[in-house]
Amino acid sequence: MGIYKKIREALVLVLVLSVYATVNGGNAQESSTTLVPAVISFGDSGVDVGNNNYLPTPFKANFLPYGKDFINHQPTGRFSNGKLAVDFTAEILGFKAYAPAYLSPQASGKNLLIGANFASAGSGFDENAVVSNHAIPLSQQLKYFKKYKTKLAKIAGTKKAASIVNDSLYILSAGTADFIQSYYFNASLRKAYTPQQYSNYLVGVFSSFVKELYGLGGRRIGVTSLPPLGCLPAAKTLFGFHEKGCYSRFNNDAQVFNEKLNSSAVNLKKQLPGLKIVVFDIFNPIYDAVKSPSKYGFVEARRGCCTSKKSIEKTSVLCNPKLGGTCSNSSQYVFWDSVHPSEAANQVVSEAMLLQGIALI
C-alpha cells in the first residue's frame, strides 16, 4: 500500500499549502493544525466509536478481540480490530484525537471542540428496523446533534460555535444494516418492496436527513456508498454459498442503491445553496481488495479474521474467544468479522475517501 501512502502525503501537502496561502490574504500569520475544525459523524457500525456501549442492544463491540490492535489494545465499541476509516480520515486531516462518542463521558467540555460521533451500530435509514435493533435512529442522532450545538455554544461562544458547525466535515454511513440485518431477513419487507423500491425508500430518507442537517448548519457532507454486500463473509455464508465468488445478487442491489444515492446527492446540491456533498464510493475499493487481495498486501479476502474453528462467520457478541479464535495476523485479512473490514482494509477505504473528498475540504 506504499503508493496510497505517497498519494495521501502529497494531497495533504497540497491542502496544507492551500490553507496557508489563503490565511489573512496570503500572510499565514496564524493557522490551524487541522484542515477542518471538527469531524462529526452519523450512521451505523461503520463509524460508531462507542455509542452502543451505553445502549441495551446486542450490537456491541466493547470487548476483546474487538480493539485488540487499537490504542493500548483496548476495545472501545469500534467494530474492528483497530481503527475505523473515520479514524484514519481524522488523522489525515490533522487531528491528534478522535471525536468522542456522544453518549460517552468523554463527550464534554473542550473535547467537543473537535466534533462528536452520533453513530450507532444497527442504525440505518429504515427507522422501523433501527428500533427493533435497539439502536439510535438517524432522527434521534440529529436531536443529539442539536444538543451538541447548544453545548458547543456554551464552550466556544456563539460566533465560534457557528463557525465550527458550518465548516466541519460531516460523515454519514448508513444502508448496510438496512439490507443485511433487515431486508434480506424480513419476508414481509421483501413482499412489500423490490430491492429497487426499497432503495428508493431509503434514499428518500437520506435526502430528508441531509436537508435537516443542512438546516442545522451542515455544509460539507460526505456519505458512504454501500459496500459490495455480496462480498461480505456473512452474505456469502448465509446466501451465496453456491457461488464461488461474491454473491452477485446482493452486489447488484448495492450498485442500484449507490446509483440512486449519487443521483439524490446531485439533486440536493442543486436545491441547497452552498452545500458541498460527496458520495464516497467504498464499493469499488473493497471489491477490488476482495478480487485482488495481494495488490493491497492481503492474503485472505473470503473469510473474516474472527471465525470459529468450524468456519462459521461471526460478528458482535459471537466474535468471542470463548466461541472460537481469531486469525494470527489480522492485517492480512480484508474483513475483521463477518460484516466489518479489518483495520488494514479501513485504511484502504479512508485513502480512497480522501481522494474523492477533496472538494469537501
DSSP notation for 115-145: EEE---TT--S-HHHHHHTT---HHHHHHHH
Spell 164-186 as b/e; 16+ CB within 10 A means b: bbeebbbbbbbbbbbbbbbbbeb
Phi, psi of 42 (to 5 degrees): -130, 160
Cα–Cα distances (Å) from 2 to 6, 297, 341, 344, in that order, read 6, 10, 20, 13
Catalytic residues: 45, 337, 340
HSE on the CB side for 199, CA within 13 Å? 19
Residue 176: its pLDDT value, please? 97
The whole-angstrom separation of Cα 145 and Cα 139 is 10
Which domains are delineated in the chain?
A: 2-18+34-300+340-360 (3.40.50.1110)
Measured from the Cβ of residue 304, the count of other Cβ atoms closer than 10 Å reads: 27
Phi, psi of 220 (to 5 degrees): -120, 100
Residue 7: its pLDDT value, please? 54
Cα–Cα distances (Å) from 288 to 7, 45, 228, 281, 293, in that order, read 18, 22, 10, 12, 7
The whole-angstrom separation of Cα 250 and Cα 240 is 9
Tens-binned pLDDT, residue by residue, of the chain (361 aa): 455 455 556 666 655 555 555 444 444 333 468 999 999 999 999 999 999 999 999 999 999 999 999 999 999 999 999 999 999 999 999 999 999 999 999 999 999 999 999 999 999 999 998 998 899 999 999 999 999 999 999 999 999 999 999 999 999 999 999 999 999 999 999 999 999 999 999 999 999 999 999 999 999 999 999 999 999 999 988 887 888 889 999 999 999 999 999 999 999 999 999 999 999 999 999 999 999 999 999 999 999 998 644 444 444 556 876 666 788 899 999 999 999 999 999 999 999 998 899 889 8
Specify which residues 110 forms β-bridges with: none
The whole-angstrom separation of Cα 261 and Cα 202 is 9
